[in-house]
Amino acid sequence: MAQKSWIEIAKDNLWYNNPVFIQILGICSTLAVTNTLINTSIMTLGVVFVTGLSAMTVSLLKSFIPRKVRMIAQTLIISFYVIIVDIVLRAYVPEVSRALGPYVGLIITNCIIMGRTEAFAQSNPPLLSLWDGLTTGIGYMYVLLMVAFVRELLGFGTVFGFQVLPDNFVNWTIMVMPPSAFFMLAIFIWIIKGYMFRKEVKK
């Protein structure tokens, strides 16, 4: 199979094969952290960091890892980078770390990261694997940020904690509740898939 170019990988991960609205992966985080943009930004930056570096590390070490234990080795590599993210958050943004709670640790089990290390990094060179991991993480990031933007705006009347809606605006209580994340994600997927379908039909 011919190796994909850097641009093809970026297009796939950001749009045509986006991990969230095409593959429907990693949506537990959508429920957990998208009530505010600050929490979502930090969480998704952590995922971008872990996905990129885990993919590169697995690619570098793939020839030394026996195939029978490769999944365990991949989990250990991912855990290493997640622990770094957790330590940095506890040290520099403790209030956000407390707000995110156990969800930072659950990055270890994020199927997007496991999927890219197994499906791509195992059979591609390190720099290309790093690029694949970073673009996959960014594809995940912008979808969650869009969900968080709507939830925070309608739920609190704020954007990144700054009041933008008038004081007499009645906050939508449902938007700060976990189920609203799935409603927003479903609407977003509906819009994107509808756009893609119409584009295919026109062709």
Is 16 part of any domain?
A: no
137 touches 44 (CB < 8 A): yes
- Provide the phi-psi class of 169: left if phi over 0, else alpha when psi is between -120 and 50, else beta: beta
pLDDT at 103: 84
φ, ψ (nearest 5 deg) of residue 103: -70, -25
When divided into structural domains, the chain yields a total of 1
Identify the domain containing residue 118 by its residue range: 21-201
90: closest CA among 55, 30, 46, 134?
46
Locate all alpha helices (DSSP H) within 62-171, ordered by sequence.
70-92, 94-100, 111-119, 126-156
Q: What is the pTM of this model?
A: 0.92
Radius of gyration of the chain (CA): 18
Q: Is residue 9 part of a domain?
A: no
Q: Is residue 13 part of a domain?
A: no
Q: Does 3 reside within a domain?
A: no
Q: What is the pLDDT of residue 117?
A: 94
In a domain, 2, yes or no: no
Domain presence at residue 108: yes
Distance CA 41, CA 175 (A): 18
Rounded distance, CA 106 to CA 26, Å?
A: 11
**Full pLDDT tens readout for the chain, 203 residues:** 567 899 999 999 999 999 998 888 888 777 778 889 999 999 999 999 999 999 999 999 999 999 899 999 999 999 999 999 999 999 999 998 998 888 888 888 888 999 999 999 999 999 999 999 999 999 999 999 999 999 999 999 999 999 999 989 999 999 988 889 989 999 999 999 999 888 888 77
pLDDT at residue 2, as a whole number: 62
Asked if the structure places residue 6 within a domain, the reply is no
